[in-house]
A = this chain, B = another copy of it.
Amino acid sequence: MARQSLEPSRDPADYTFTHRLRARFAETDAMGVIHHAAYLPYLEEARVEYLRAVGHPYDVVRGGESEDAREFPVLEVSVQYRRPLEFDDEVDVALRIGAVRGATFQIAYLLSANGEPRATAVTVHGCVDGRGRPARLPGWVRDTAGAATAPPAVRSSPPS
């Protein structure tokens, strides 16, 4: 894999935002644990909550007029599974944004349950406009990634 450069650590202090979710029964498999493919929607759900927390809800980002609308398609993903997640686990998905390069950026993730690391992951994102054409990254993504190198830990709340 070419582009990925972030190294996701197992120390929650290295992340700037955490979203908690609950592992669904529908996401288990016949090994009795959460199926490995179910982790990708977990990462996505955490990204969406992060965008909301920094004031740029993804449905608004996507919903602008064609020139202003932006989508951040996933160009690469990698996940390292360390210990299984199980049904009904409360999963803390911690993330930090970084490695802004041209029109791409990366996000590192740490998934924990009961305070123990369960998986780490990295996604690489591009940026396209409302017609699917490559587009400039909004300035706030760059700013957010810069700010993310600073320590402040934000804790999300689930939908209320």
Contact = CB atoms under 8 A, between A and B. Distances in A.
Interface of A: 1-2, 4, 20-22, 24-33, 35-37, 40-41, 44-45, 48, 57-59, 71, 73-81, 86-88, 90, 122, 132, 157-160
A109 B61 CA distance: 32
A87 B30 contact: yes
A145 to B, nearest CB: 21
A45 B159 CA distance: 14
A57 B36 CA distance: 20
29 contacts: A1-B122, A2-B80, A20-B159, A21-B159, A22-B45, A22-B158, A24-B45, A25-B29, A26-B29, A26-B35, A28-B29, A29-B29, A29-B30, A30-B33, A31-B73, A36-B40, A37-B37, A37-B41, A37-B44, A48-B88, A59-B86, A74-B81, A76-B80, A76-B81, A77-B79, A78-B78, A78-B79, A90-B159, A158-B159
Contacts of A78: 1, 4, 76-79
A37 B30 contact: no
A35 B31 CA distance: 13
Contact of A28 (B30, B77, B160): B30
